[in-house]
Amino acid sequence: MRILRFQELKHISYDDLKYAFKYSNIENFDEIINKLQIANVLKHIFPKPRLDDLNVAENITINLRQDGYFTFKFVGLITIGNYCLIVYPKYIKNIDNDFLNEKKKSNKLFK
Using DSSP bridges, classify how beta strands 42-45 and 69-72 pair: parallel, antiparallel or unpaired: antiparallel
Contact 72, 41 (CB under 8 A): yes
Beta strands 83-88 and 2-7 are parallel
Considering only residues 43 and 31, tell me which one the structure prediction assigns the higher pLDDT: 43
The pLDDT of residue 23 = 62
Question: What value does the mean pLDDT take over residues 10-31?
Answer: 82
Query: Is the pLDDT at 93 greater than 70, yes or no?
Result: yes
Name the pTM for this structure.
0.75
Contact partners, residue 28, CB within 8 Å, separation at least 6: 81
Length of the chain: 111
The arithmetic mean of pLDDT across residues 76-94, rounded, is 87
Give the model's pLDDT for residue 71.
96
Q: What is the pLDDT of residue 25?
A: 60
**Distinct helix (H) and strand (E) counts, the chain:** 5, 5
Q: At what angle do helices 26-38 and 14-21 cross, to 10 degrees?
A: 110
Mean pLDDT of all residues in 54-66: 53
Confidence bin at 96 (pLDDT 50/70/90): confident
- What integer pLDDT is reported at residue 13 of this predicted model? 92
SS3 state of residue 109: helix
**Do 30 and 95 meet the contact criterion of CB atoms below 8 Å apart?**
no
